[in-house]
Amino acid sequence: MTEPTTPALSHPLRIAALAARKPTRFRLEPDADTRAAVAQALEITAVPELTFRGELRPVGRRDWELVAELAAVVEQPCCVTLVPVITEIREEVRRRYLAEMPVPEGDEVEMPEDDTQEPLPEIVDPGVVALEALALALPMYPRAPDVELGEAVFAAPGVKPLRDEDLRPFAGLAGLAEKLGKGDTTPE
């Protein structure tokens, strides 16, 4: 059996120890070593800046809500040239922890409309929530300014390569319509 790993960013809050009538505020500003661990966990180059601040507040008698703002600067390699791309991220993060989370039944289950709802755990970790939110906010294909992918053309020797233009059957219709429009327009 493998030991559970400690997340790169962690700030656990035990629900039973929190005030039941007022919010618990938090502000996470990890140091350089922790940001390096976050970058490694997210498989990106670097996280020069990261702040996650907000509050965990009671809702009703048994539910809780986490509302926070994620602010980060990340560095990733360009998906075309591999040069470093710096991205600034600002996200509002909201999670609702329900004591009575409805359990889906059946073989096929639809995703709920409210994707912020989760079952209420014994410990809520804003650090883990920050990591998840940052992972979801990262650009999938970061691209350096003024970089274009261009057209890749591949074919076996002696075979005419198939180009993007060859796959657009209606691209030539505009030219054909223009030629037909310039023809004899004198009514008979």
12-69 pLDDT tens trace: 889 888 888 899 999 999 999 999 999 999 999 999 999 999 999 999 888 899 999 9
| Secondary structure element (H or E) that encloses residue 73, with its range | strand 63-77
157 pLDDT more than 70: yes
CA distance 23 to 7: 24
Amino acid at 101: M
116 pLDDT more than 80: no
3-class DSSP state of 46: strand
**In the prediction, which pLDDT does 187 show?**
56
**In the prediction, which pLDDT does 117 show?**
79
Mean pLDDT for the stretch of residues 106-121: 73
Are 96 and 59 in contact by the 8 Å Cβ rule? The answer is: yes
**In the prediction, which pLDDT does 184 show?**
54
Are 55 and 68 in contact by the 8 Å Cβ rule? The answer is: yes
Q: Which residues pair with 55 in a beta bridge?
A: 25, 67
